[in-house]
Structure 1
Amino acid sequence: MVTVTRNKLVYITYSILDARGMVVEQHDLPVGYVQGAHSGILPAIETAVAGRKIGDRVEIQLSPEEGYGLRDESLVFVDEIENVPPEFRRTGAEVMFENESGETKVFYVTSVENGKVTLDGNPSLAGQSVTCLINVVDVRDATPEEIRNGRPLDAAGGTVH
Structure 2
Amino acid sequence: MTATSADTIAEGKYVELTYLVRDSKTGDVLTEITRPLNYVHGVNEILAPMITRELEGKTQGERVDLLVDCNELYGPRDESLVITEKVAVVPREYRQVGSQILMENNLGQMKSFLVTKIEGDTITFDGNNPLCGREVIYQVTIQLVRDATAEEQQYGGQPPAAPEG
Query: Which protein has the bigger helix share?
Result: 2
The alignment status of 1:63 with 2:69, answered yes or no, reads yes
- CA contact 1:93–1:108 (8 Å) conserved in 2: yes
TM-score by length of 1: 0.80
The alignment status of 1:4 with 2:5, answered yes or no, reads no
The DSSP-based 3-state class of the residue aligned with 1:147 is: helix
Equivalent residues in 2 for 1:94-133, closer than 5 Å: 94-99=100-105, 104-113=110-119, 115-133=121-139
In 1, Cα distance between equivalents of 2:53 and 2:38: 15
Going from structure 1 to structure 2, the CA distance change for 1:117 and 1:153 (only over 3 Å counts) comes to same
Instruction: List runs of 5+ in structure 1 lacking aligned partners.
Output: 156-161
The DSSP-based 3-state class of the residue aligned with 1:52 is: coil
In 1, Cα distance between equivalents of 2:50 and 2:152: 21
Alignment match, 1:15: 20
1:5 alignment partner AA: A
Superposed displacement of residue 152, structure 1: 2.1
CA RMSD of aligned residues (A): 2.4
Instruction: List runs of 5+ in structure 2 lacking aligned partners.
Output: none
* Deviation digits for residues 65-109 of structure 1 (CA, Å, limit 9, x no counterpart): 444443222321122333323443343332222457765433122
TM-score by length of 2: 0.79
Going from structure 1 to structure 2, the CA distance change for 1:90 and 1:138 (only over 3 Å counts) comes to closer
Superposed displacement of residue 53, structure 1: 1.2
Identical aligned residues as a percent: 36
1:108 alignment partner AA: L
Going from structure 1 to structure 2, the CA distance change for 1:8 and 1:118 (only over 3 Å counts) comes to same
Alignment match, 1:85: 91
> Could you tell which deviates more after superposition, 128-137 or 142-151?
142-151
1:72 alignment partner AA: D
